Amino acid sequence: MITNRSRRRFFGAAAAAAAWPVLSRVPGAESAAVRLKPDATDAVRGGPLKIGVASYSMREFTLDQALDMARTLGVKYMTFKDVHVPRIDPPDATRALRAKIQAAGITIMGGGTITIPNDPAKIKKEFEYAKNAGFPLIFVDPEPGALDTIEQLAKSYDIRVAIHNHGPEDKRWPRPQDAYAAVKSRDKRLGLCIDIGHTLRTGTDPVQACRECRDRLYDMHVKDLAVKSDKESQVEVGRGVIDFPGLFRTLIEIGYQGQVGLEYEIKARDPLPGMIESMAYMRGVLAAVA
């Protein structure tokens, strides 16, 4: 019997197969030995969505290794966790890392997630860090009482701030709509980073959430789940239950301009094969729906 999931998998796999040539062997990735090239539909070549990577996916690796993985994946867009751009470094060191990333051909889309307390001095320090790192956006988990100071500094530094939802365990921002309610009447620099996996676990449709919050949707973390409510069921993108053709069509329709960032949280010490598969599926689906 052909299920909706099997149709989705076939759809994405067929599109991916059509979208990419196999270019060369990847050292250390025997189970997925391909080197991916950015597809003509990728936003780097004028396509409708910016398919990228959250560096948290490579958290067990150095920045140099993460950038090498990005080259393997054909990625031109990235957001960065502080394991790769440390928040405790002095400004000159942070600016040097920014230059290294840009020299590798990567467009820096933002950084985080940063937990923000209701402490103006600490909040200002995070904005200074973001400025030195070249982050046009930071995704955050803020205390609600900190939003007034965050709004003021977002205006002053002209840096966007996107609240990241973290699912049922998150007592402040479980769903995108919870964050949207807190920012919708504030300065336009305040918005959302929708994590579609965490969103699904709350019983919320990620596609509908993107439509409802479209005017404040500034960043996105992409993962897939085999079981809608199970945090531990994360799988390679395309092997789970999330409707990626529907998601990508919606993002195109609403004119989404942020990164569609793969956040691959499983197999932390050997993420590249799964990231290759996930990226191929994402770009293949995008090629088909675009």
Structure tokens at 165: 């939802």
pTM for the whole thing?
A: 0.85
pLDDT of residue 290: 83
Terminal-to-terminal C-alpha distance of the chain: 28
Euclidean distance between CA atoms 220 and 214, whole angstroms: 12
pLDDT of residue 238: 97
Ordered mean pLDDT values, 10 residues apiece, the chain (290 residues): 49 47 35 43 61 98 98 97 97 98 98 97 98 98 98 98 96 96 98 97 97 98 96 96 97 97 97 98 95
What is the third-level CATH fold of 4-289? TIM Barrel (3.20.20)
3-state secondary structure string across 148-211: HHHHHHHHHHCCEEEEECCCCCCCCCCCHHHHHHHHCCCCCCEEEEEEHHHHHHCCCCHHHHHH
pLDDT of residue 5: 54
Cα angle value 218/220/221 (rounded, 5°): 155
pLDDT of residue 3: 52
Angstrom CA distances, 40 to 48, 89, 123, 136, stand at 10, 38, 40, 25
pLDDT of residue 137: 98
- Range 13-16 contact pairs with CB under 8 angstroms and sequence separation of 24 or more: 13/238, 13/281, 13/284, 14/284, 14/288, 15/284, 15/285, 15/287, 15/288, 16/280, 16/281, 16/283, 16/284, 16/285, 16/287
pLDDT of residue 199: 97
pLDDT of residue 79: 98
